[in-house]
Structure 1
Amino acid sequence: MEVVYRFSQPQLKWSAFGHWRESMAAIHRDWLFDRSSLTGRLRALSDDEFEVIPLREAVGPILPEECRVLGLQPGVLGWIREVYLTGFGRPWVYARSVINHRDVEESDSTLLQLGNVPLGSLLFGEKPYKRSEIEVCRYRDACNASSRAAYPLWARRSVFSRGQTRVLVHEMFLPALWEELS
């Protein structure tokens, strides 16, 4: 399955909570700015009918904007993972994680072989990672996704770090999730 969501389009305006406080519905704020495990929330919402569907796990070029956020030189290769997080068999969230795999410490090497294991189980596990500020953007012109006016496409990103390991996590909240919550 080819996925072409773009988290690094130049026209995307990533902003922190204060920017969106007044213009975003309360339900969207609640989900987008929640700092707890998204995996945990989706499991609860789906009565444990939750699944991670891997779309891509491979070494590839880290996009220029991702390099900027991670503090890397442009053109660096990294470990790219793209998945759907599903509930009741419906894709609720499209997620892309990016790691400069050369900086992954030995204790974090399981990040590079997750398969259908949720990334959140490691990031929020026994030795949790520290999470940066959450930034959010609204997609007006999303690729490969239909969006009704009632269910705008929102995405968030943050960097998780522990020791030398840094993981940039993008999550796009798809219309099926908002439908489930309405």
Structure 2
Amino acid sequence: MAEIHRDWLFDRSSLTRRLRTLSDDEFEVILLRETTGPILPQECRVLGLRLGVMGWIREVYLAGFGRPWVYARSVINHCDPEDNDSALLQLGNVPLGSLLFGEKPYKRSEIEVCRYRDACNASSRPAYPLWARRSVFSREQTRVLVHEMFLPALWEELS
């Protein structure tokens, strides 16, 4: 693993903050999906939930200069709008990091990292590795599993 990949993948600070800095504040959250739905079996295992349980699922692109740099999927172990953490269920285009690292920060688990097999590359340009990470953020009864896949456009920006 290259040092630049290690630096971004294992950094425990706010990814949103780092992407804002890298993009000179030309940063945006592109909402793909935000809904109640079944939590995937592996996500249930990581969150310590029984299989088939429903939760809140949010998928976004984190983009700089109009280019998606990170695909993020967040899964929340409950979807009760009456709960104290209901702001998590109404983010829209607001970065999740603004709550996770906000005034009452969540506790973060260890970061797990994986590398996906190299994707097909039909161009003559070198392919960038497809790295992803996940961790769980916890506060009181709320647990948020955050998956982040670092897209080639980010590595291109950093090179």
Counterpart of 1:66, as a letter, is E
For each residue in 1:83-134, what CA deviation from the matched residue of structure 2 results, as whole angstroms up to 9, or x when unmatched?
0000000000000000122478722110000000000000000000000000
Distance 2:90 2:67 in 1: 24
Distance 1:53 1:119, change over 3 A: same
Distance 1:35 1:44 in 2: 16
1:130 aligns with 2:107: yes
Identity of matched residues, %: 87
Distance 2:5 2:82 in 1: 35
Secondary structure, aligned partner of 1:101: coil
1:64 aligns with 2:64: no
Unpaired runs of 5+ in structure 2? Answer: none
Q: More strand by proportion, 1 or 2?
A: 2
Distance 1:153 1:86 in 2: 16
Matches within 5 A, 1:16-165: 24-102=1-79, 106-140=83-117, 150-165=127-142
For each residue in 1:6-25, what CA deviation from the matched residue of structure 2 results, as whole angstroms up to 9, or x when unmatched?
xxxxxxxxxxxxxxxxxx10
* TM-score using structure 1 length: 0.82
Unpaired runs of 5+ in structure 1? Answer: 1-23
Distance 1:135 1:62 in 2: 19
Number of aligned residues? 157
Match of 1:166 in 2: 143
Match of 1:175 in 2: 152
* TM-score using structure 2 length: 0.93
CA RMSD of aligned residues (A): 1.9
